[in-house]
Amino acid sequence: MARGIPDTVLLGPRSAHHGVSFVDVDLVGVAAHAHRRGASVNDSLLAAAAGGYRAALIAAGEEVPPELPVSVPVALPRRNEANAVGVMLVRLPLAASVDDRLEGIAAQTRTAKIAARAQGTLELMRGPVGAHLMNRLAKHQHLVGGFVTNVPGPAEPLALAGAPMTHLWPVAVLAANVRIGVAAVSYAGRLSCGIHVDSEFIDRAAVATAFRRDLALLSR
């Protein structure tokens, strides 16, 4: 199978020891900063995630490559009222400054989203046999080094059983052989992010610190 990524701490069998860090930021600030750079909020999330992946490599004593491909889900037109999701491959620049990262990512996603939506979902994955085969192959893949996802949430505050919901935190799924996943959801004017790692192999504090720093820069 194709190996686009060399052996790295970011990929491999996962342990039972996981950890999650939560970071949130003003959504209006992120959107305004992104707009000035010709980018989107999702591009900003990816730029901050790049800083986190870079920190994980440095903490593990590994060489930092110029870029790291990650898998990003893309919403597709609904089929029979069911949600459909495609996949966009984005190569995160790891050596660039945060704003250069943002602009480079935006240049990729402008065309990659269109291509992902045109391709649609993998028909092979619709059946249990295909899904089982893909799962086995994914445990040894070297095509992507991480998962990053962003979901638009409610713009207005919600209540649960009469109690105000002050925060909404997402947790990314770790699948295949990937050891870091980043998820974000917008809620009531905030962009809330969850960084899920296999803490047996990944320095969670280092990843969260770099991600928080870069996301703050991207909201100014």
**Position 48 in a domain:** yes
Q: What is the pLDDT of residue 137?
A: 73
| 10: in domain | no
DSSP for the chain reads --B-S-S-TTBS---S-EEEEEEEEEHHHHHHHHHHTT--HHHHHHHHHHHHHHHHHHHTTPPPPSEEEEEEEEEEEEETTEEEEEEEEEEEESSS-HHHHHHHHHHHHHHHHHHHHHH-S-GGGGSHHHHHHHHHHHTT-BS-S-EEEEE---SS--EETTEE-------PPP-TTB-EEEEEEEETTEEEEEEEEETTTS-HHHHHHHHHHHHHHTT-
How many folded domains does the chain comprise?
1
- Residue 13 domain flag: no
pTM over 0.85: yes
Residue 11 lies in a domain: no
Q: Let me know if residue 3 belongs to a domain.
A: no
Could you tell me the residue range of the domain that residue 151 belongs to?
A: 18-217
Q: What is the pLDDT of residues 134-191, one digit of tens each?
A: 667 788 899 999 999 999 999 999 999 999 999 999 999 899 999 999 999 999 999 9
Listed as ranges, residues in the chain with pLDDT below 50 are 1-2, 81, 123-125, 130
Check residue 126 and give its pLDDT.
Answer: 53
- Domain with residue 61: its CATH number is 3.30.559.30
- The predicted pLDDT at position 149 comes to 95
| The predicted structure's pLDDT at residue 90 | 95
